[in-house]
């Protein structure tokens, strides 16, 4: 997942804002946001930034931003690209700088203070955003440049920026009358508050549950999982017991290995009912309001549905194209998933279980099935996936592909003490940027994995400003004498987010503002995942943490043979979540929905089998609060691209530098400043085909392995 913390003038994705706060002159002079950072590579001075600095910096940034916009909109000179579009791009520099730091920290290292800032002040920043989007003088100048662009000899990047900027104003209400603009402002402010509340509720629910067990309940669990659970219990004041949480590194090993069916059901119910417990963190009413407000917003702006509004600038363009892809995959995945259910039910029956497989049983019995069919289990693999080795193997892969190197940086401010910092250099030794890597769960961090940034690449006075990128994970922690031994899935996730990081590090755009199609943004991340399990690559990094011996060929063969294993389940739960997202956002206004009733009836109507739940149920579906609204399908849309693109490497060679250079120049450097399909065609020489994806997921019967 890619999170963007930059303050977007046109996107309307800003989710925090500020009220008045008095500040003494001495405090102003000590605010780290106000001057040069004076840190290595000019990264944010995290060691000096405190919660009290954000509100004053936001307010000062808004004051400066308003002055910038006023100067542009009241300029008496004829509108040109430079005095209007380029000037707008440079406006609000302080506001953008503080926003990038704040939102990154609010996701990965939050606190009561930051949560209060995020919640209490969101309406003001939303209002500020609307001030620009709905400024008639500013829009008049933008429209003038757009209408007369032939006069300005614009290059391709400038034309792309202008096109998207102008249309972004339209999609955000610039053509509405005053009454409708006021209505839109009210909707945007409400949405900004509700979206923050939704995500904070999910975090609270995640942190609020612990399954406390005794020693007899640890049967079947790996040593590393038991050790971590003991530390979690101790931290919760339950020393001598073991605690499991709904964070992924805790719940899913428990679900996979614990033979205690009742405990599996208990923790899974807690996981799937986050935000749906009728307490102060319940998200049903919150989501109902969000869905209605989004539908109302779309209608106000002249669109049939909210999905029509947000899909317009993406590759998919309209909801029908998304549903076509999802329904195609659904029809192929459901029969495979049903076959997987039958195979696991046979195991249950053979063991004398006398019960039907339930959703909370899936991980336990699928692991048994994998061992039965391929003689492979996660416990056998984990010793070869020490997190440091996986990271270094990843660094070797990108070095062989692109020639870049990553070296640890000492004595640099860190966004959290657990974070590691690296300098990224090009093949010629020149500085590319700084990369932060944040690996382990904590209560101050949202669940999942994502890539964000503290600074994006751009050019100021002909000088390049280099990026500062962060990748954030929730991986299995080290415990006791055991190092962090991660799963193969977690290793793949590291590659995924690093692909996003490469996108940020390699991007070469002149201006701050870029326009990345959400359904294209997962291509750089998902294509890199393919290298993770290639035999040649596994030999490079998968080493036994005790002996340093490389993973044996026998295990690599098992991994390869099991490549299509569980793909019915994985595709079905992903498509189900994508369809649910689209269904919510294709509701026409007026829209008031009973969330639980709507979710149950819709998933039943499409034929989701009871043994599988949607990957994300409605009340903890945080993706659709973080820029993937009517966009969760993007992972599957991009999967068509990444599987087709990876075949180019397989055709020429896994580490073919010419192909890698083409991918870097045509896609990674241009992402956000060129039409997405044109970028892909420039790299591949043609439009993408879906067959490589179907083969990769084992959804073509003549190609699948059973």
Catalytic positions:
497
Nearest to 345 by CA among 323, 362, 320: 362
590 upstream amide cis, omega within 30 of 0: yes
Q: Which residues contact 45 (CB under 8 A, 6 or more apart)?
A: 32, 37, 38, 39, 413
Joined together, the tokens standing for residue 61 give 């940034």
User: What's the number of CA atoms in the CB half-sphere (13 Å) around residue 31?
Assistant: 22
Secondary structure of residue 605 in the 3-state scheme:
helix
Joined together, the tokens standing for residue 291 give 């869905």
In 209-317, which residue ranges form alpha helices assigned H by DSSP?
223-235, 248-257, 261-272, 284-300, 306-311
Contact of 649 with 395, CB cutoff 8 Å: no
Task: Report CA 705 to chain centroid distance, whole Å.
Answer: 31
Q: Which residues contact 571 (CB under 8 A, 6 or more apart)?
A: 329, 332, 333, 336, 337, 697, 699
Nearest to 644 by CA among 682, 680, 698: 680
Secondary structure of residue 446 in the 3-state scheme:
coil
Q: Residue 186 phi/psi, 5° resolution?
A: -65, -40
Within 10 A of 164 (CB to CB), how many other CB atoms are there?
A: 18
Contact of 27 with 115, CB cutoff 8 Å: no
DSSP bridge partners of 453: 469
Q: What is the dihedral of CA 406, 411, 414, 418, to 10 degrees?
A: 80
In angstroms, the CA 442 to CA 674 distance is 38
In 74-222, which residue ranges form alpha helices assigned H by DSSP?
87-90, 93-108, 112-120, 122-133, 136-147, 156-171, 178-208
User: What's the number of CA atoms in the CB half-sphere (13 Å) around residue 514?
Assistant: 28
User: What's the number of CA atoms in the CB half-sphere (13 Å) around residue 497?
Assistant: 26
Within 10 A of 696 (CB to CB), how many other CB atoms are there?
A: 20
Nearest to 541 by CA among 431, 396, 424: 396
Q: Residue 267 phi/psi, 5° resolution?
A: -75, -30
Q: Which residues contact 477 (CB under 8 A, 6 or more apart)?
A: 228, 231, 249, 440, 441, 484
Joined together, the tokens standing for residue 390 give 């996986």
DSSP bridge partners of 386: 485
Q: Would you give the DSSP letter of residue 551? A: P
Secondary structure of residue 244 in the 3-state scheme:
strand
Secondary structure of residue 438 in the 3-state scheme:
strand
User: What's the number of CA atoms in the CB half-sphere (13 Å) around residue 554?
Assistant: 3
Joined together, the tokens standing for residue 283 give 């998200």
In 410-563, which residue ranges form alpha helices assigned H by DSSP?
488-506, 523-532, 535-541, 553-561
Contact of 610 with 279, CB cutoff 8 Å: no
In angstroms, the CA 128 to CA 140 distance is 19
């Amino acid at each position: 997942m890619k999170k963007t913390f930059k303050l977007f003038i046109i996107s309307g994705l800003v989710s925090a804002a500020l009220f008045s706060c008095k500040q003494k002159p001495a405090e102003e002079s000590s605010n780290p946001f106000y001057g040069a950072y004076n840190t290595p590579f000019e990264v944010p001075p995290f060691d000096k930034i405190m919660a009290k600095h954000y509100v004053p910096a936001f307010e000062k940034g808004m004051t400066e931003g308003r002055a910038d916009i006023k100067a542009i909109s009241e300029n008496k000179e004829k509108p040109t690209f430079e005095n209007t579009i380029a000037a707008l791009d440079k406006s609000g520099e302080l506001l953008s700088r503080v926003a990038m730091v704040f939102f990154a920290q609010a996701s990965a290292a939050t606190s009561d203070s930051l949560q209060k800032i995020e919640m209490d002040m969101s309406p003001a920043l939303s209002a500020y955003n609307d001030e620009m989007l709905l400024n008639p003088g500013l829009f008049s100048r933008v429209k003038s440049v757009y209408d007369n662009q032939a006069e300005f000899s614009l290059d391709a990047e400038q034309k792309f920026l202008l096109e998207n900027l102008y249309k972004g104003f339209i999609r955000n209400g610039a053509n509405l009358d005053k009454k409708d603009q006021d209505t839109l402002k009210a909707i945007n402010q409400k949405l900004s508050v509700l979206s923050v509340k939704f995500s904070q509720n999910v975090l609270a629910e995640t942190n609020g549950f612990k399954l406390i067990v005794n020693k007899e309940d640890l049967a079947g669990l790996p040593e590393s999982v038991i050790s971590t659970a003991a530390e979690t219990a101790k931290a919760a004041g339950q020393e001598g017991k073991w605690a499991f949480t709904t964070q992924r590194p805790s719940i899913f090993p428990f679900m996979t290995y614990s033979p205690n069916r009742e405990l599996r059901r208990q923790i899974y119910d807690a996981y799937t009912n986050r935000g749906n417990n009728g307490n102060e963190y319940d998200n049903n009413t919150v989501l109902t309001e969000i869905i209605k407000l989004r539908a109302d917003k779309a209608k106000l702006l002249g669109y049939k549905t909210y999905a029509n509004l947000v899909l317009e600038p993406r590759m998919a363009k309209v909801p029908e194209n998304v549903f076509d892809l999802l329904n195609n995959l659904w029809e192929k995945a459901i029969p495979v998933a049903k076959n997987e259910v039958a195979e696991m039910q046979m195991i249950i029956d053979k063991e004398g279980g006398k019960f039907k497989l339930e959703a909370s049983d899936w991980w336990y019995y699928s692991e048994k099935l994998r061992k039965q069919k391929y003689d492979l289990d996660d416990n056998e693999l984990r010793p070869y996936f020490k997190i440091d080795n996986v990271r270094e193997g990843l660094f070797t892969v990108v070095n062989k592909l692109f020639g870049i190197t990553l070296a640890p940086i000492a004595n640099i401010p860190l966004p959290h003490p657990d974070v590691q910092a690296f300098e990224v250099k090009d093949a010629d030794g020149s500085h590319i940027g700084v990369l932060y890597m944040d690996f382990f769960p904590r209560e101050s961090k949202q669940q999942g994995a994502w890539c964000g940034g503290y600074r994006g690449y751009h050019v100021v006075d002909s000088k390049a400003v280099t990026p500062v990128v962060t990748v954030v994970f929730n991986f299995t922690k080290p415990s006791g004498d055991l190092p962090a031994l991660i799963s193969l899935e977690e290793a793949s996730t590291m590659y995924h987010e690093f692909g996003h990081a490469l996108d940020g590090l390699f991007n070469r755009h002149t201006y701050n503002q870029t326009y990345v199609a959400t359904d294209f943004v997962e291509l750089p991340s998902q294509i890199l995942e393919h290298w993770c399990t290639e035999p040649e690559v596994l030999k490079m990094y998968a080493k036994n943490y005790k002996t340093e011996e490389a993973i044996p060929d026998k295990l690599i063969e098992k991994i390869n043979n099991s490549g299509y294993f569980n793909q019915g389940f994985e595709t079905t739960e992903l498509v189900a979540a994508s369809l649910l997202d689209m269904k919510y956002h294709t509701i026409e206004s007026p829209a008031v929905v009973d969330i639980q009733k709507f979710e149950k009836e819709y998933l039943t109507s499409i034929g989701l089998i009871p043994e599988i739940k949607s990957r994300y149920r409605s009340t903890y579906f945080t993706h659709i609060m973080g820029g993937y609204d009517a966009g969760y399908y993007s992972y599957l849309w991009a999967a068509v691209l990444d599987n087709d693109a990876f075949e180019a490497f397989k055709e020429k060679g896994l580490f073919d530098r010419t192909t890698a250079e083409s991918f870097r120049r045509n896609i990674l450097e241009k992402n956000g400043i060129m039409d997405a399909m044109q970028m892909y065609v420039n790299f591949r020489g043609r439009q993408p085909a879906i067959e490589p994806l179907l083969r990769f997921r084992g959804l073509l019967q003549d190609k699948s392995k059973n």
